[in-house]
A = this chain, B = another copy of it.
Amino acid sequence: MDTVSKVFGRIPPAPPTLADVAELAGVSRQTVSNAVNNPDLLRADTLLRVQQAIDQLGYSPNRAARNLRTRASHLIGLRIQPVQEGTANALMDRFVHSLVEASREAGYHVLLFSGDPIDALAGYDDLLRSTAVDAFIVTDTYLGNPQAAWLGARRAPFVAFGRPWDNPDAPHPWVDVDGAAGCDLATSHLLDKGHERIAWIGWRKDSFIGEDRRAGWSRAMRARGLPTTGLASRVEDTVSSGRDASAVLLDEAQPSAFVCASDTLAMGVLRTLAERGLTAGRDVAVVGFDDSQVAQVVASGLTSVRQPLEDVAVEVVKALEGRLGHPPAIHPGVLLSPTLAVRGSS
């Protein structure tokens, strides 16, 4: 009586095991295992025979058994947070897809989990202790986020998308996008178009990311010997903040262009322009950040700095493979350069 009908009188048919393949091919189980994991060890004709048996039965190694034996799950954990409604911030969608794709090529799958809002660490802890994932991708590296330190202390392998701002010497691998370079790019683009009074609308000063992006703007301005005083504003990341800030700047500093730390803020600028009967791109130029769908479909289009998320994902997975290797190979950090998606608003 075969395994199938012994275990399941009904559905579903139990998938074939190593033993089934071995029997069919007339070899031992170990040889089948080798055929799958170390084909080089087999003689060509044996390998072929085993291969045929595998194909014939539609055999695929049972993950649970393999995981148990190898102490690896080939799963990487990614914590996702709720979409922020009312903003244009939707990086994650693109990043997640890129990550899944890059992971697949490296033999990993992505396991999603949601943060217990009260205890962000709980989800990590659970997966870690139950050895459900081999590593994590950490994306929310805002200031004071304890995840990196916490994971580090537990020796949990992880790669961060985002620099360790508060600790440049952090020992974990990370990948990030050069926000300053992006805003420099955006500002220089406007300067090349003849703009001289280019305003900045960014986030509050306690945001490292925001200050980094702002630095790109001021750097580009200074490189042309242009003043920046009175041309900058720091606000919350909402459409209405962008609207209010741009109205004030327009009144007090008469800029001919805006560079914003986010598409959300840029949408606020567009709103102010519309309210004043000004046309974006003709009367006043506007550049956003993140190349969200919003930037892509809004009337006449919003020029925006685009993060190379596909490349980020590839680098993240590369770093992960290094970290998971024996011995672990930690390359310090990777900084990628964004590009500029030029549209009608500039």
Q: Which residues of A pack against B, CB within 8 Å? A: 11-13, 15, 58-65, 67-68, 71, 73, 75, 80-83, 85-90, 92-94, 96-97, 100-101, 104, 109-114, 126, 129-132, 154-156, 239, 264, 267, 270-271, 274, 292-294, 296-300
Contacts and interface: CB of A to CB of B under 8 A. Distances in A.
A111 B113 contact: no
B112 A264 contact: no
Given A109-B112, A110-B111, A111-B75, A267 B297 contact: yes
Given A83-B94, A299-B271, A88 B293 contact: yes
A109 B88 CA distance: 27
A191 B249 CA distance: 41
Query: Which 6 pairs of residues, A with B, have the shortest CB-CB distance?
Result: A64-B67, A60-B129, A64-B68, A60-B130, A12-B155, A110-B112
Number of identical protomers: 2
Nearest to A74: B132
A239 B297 contact: yes
A15 B155 CA distance: 12
A155 B96 CA distance: 29
A92 B83 CA distance: 10
Contact of A112 (B15, B96, B114, B293): B96
A344 to B, nearest CB: 10
Nearest to A104: B114
A68 to B, nearest CB: 4
Contacts of A92: 93
A62 B58 contact: no
B109 A62 contact: no
22 contacts: A15-B131, A60-B126, A62-B68, A62-B130, A63-B130, A64-B67, A64-B131, A67-B68, A68-B68, A75-B111, A80-B97, A80-B100, A85-B296, A87-B297, A88-B294, A96-B96, A100-B112, A104-B113, A109-B113, A110-B113, A274-B299, A293-B294
A170 to B, nearest CB: 17
Contacts of A11: 155
A28 B141 CA distance: 43
Contacts of A90: 90, 93, 293
Contacts of A97: 80-83, 114
Contacts of A100: 80, 112-114
A83 B296 CA distance: 13
